[in-house]
Amino acid sequence: MPALPRLLITLGDVAGVGPEIVARAWPELLSLCAPIVVGDVEWMKRGLAQALQVAEVVPISSPMDASPTAGAIPVLQATDQNLTNVRPGEIGPEAGRAAYDFLCTAIDLALAGQADGIVTCPLHKEGLHAGGVNYPGHTEILADLTKSPSHGMMLWARNGRIPHGLGVVHVTLHMALHDVFEHVTTGAVIEKARLLDQMLRRLIGRAPKLAIAALNPHASDGGLFGHEERDIIEPAVREAKANGLHAVGPVSSDTLFSRAKRGEFDGVVAMYHDQGHIPMKLLAGLDAVNITVGLPIVRTSVAHGTAYDIAGKGIADHRSLIEATRVAALLAANR
Per-residue pLDDT of the chain (335 residues; tens, 9 = 90+): 468 999 999 999 999 999 999 999 999 999 999 999 999 999 999 999 999 999 999 999 999 999 999 999 999 999 999 999 999 999 999 999 999 999 999 999 999 999 999 999 999 999 999 999 999 889 999 999 999 999 999 999 998 889 999 999 999 988 999 999 999 999 999 999 999 999 999 999 999 999 999 999 998 888 878 899 999 999 999 999 999 999 999 999 999 999 999 999 999 999 999 999 999 999 998 889 999 999 999 999 999 999 999 999 999 999 999 999 999 999 998 77
Q: What is the C-alpha to C-alpha distance for residues 212 and 118, in angstroms, rounded to an integer?
A: 29
DSSP 69: B
* 19 preceded by a cis bond (ω within 30 of 0): no
Fold of 1-148+295-335: Isopropylmalate Dehydrogenase (3.40.718)
* Other Cβ atoms within 10 Å of 55 Cβ, number: 18
Q: Which residues lie below 8 Å from residue 315, measured CB to CB, with a gap of 6+? A: none
User: Helical H runs in the chain?
Assistant: 18-29, 41-51, 93-111, 125-130, 138-145, 177-183, 186-204, 228, 234-242, 253-261, 273-284, 319-333
CA 33 to chain CA centroid, nearest Å: 18
| Strand-pair partners of 251 | 213
| Domains 1-148+295-335 and 150-286 in one fold | yes
Q: Say which amino acid occupies 255.
A: T
Answer whether CATH 3.40.140.10 is correct for domain 150-286: no
Q: What is the C-alpha to C-alpha distance for residues 22 and 283, in angstroms, rounded to an integer?
A: 24
Q: What is the C-alpha to C-alpha distance for residues 262 and 161, in angstroms, rounded to an integer?
A: 9
pLDDT of residue 2: 66
pLDDT of residue 223: 81
* Other Cβ atoms within 10 Å of 157 Cβ, number: 23
Q: What is the C-alpha to C-alpha distance for residues 280 and 274, in angstroms, rounded to an integer?
A: 9
CA 19 to chain CA centroid, nearest Å: 17
pLDDT of residue 324: 97
pLDDT of residue 232: 96
Q: Say which amino acid occupies 272.
A: Y
Closest by Cα among 100, 102, 93 to 130: 93
Pairing mode, if any, of strands 166-170 and 117-120?
unpaired
Closest by Cα among 249, 282, 281 to 265: 249
**Torsion on CA atoms 197, 161, 153, 105, rounded to nearest 10:** -110
Domain limits of the chain? 1-148+295-335, 150-286
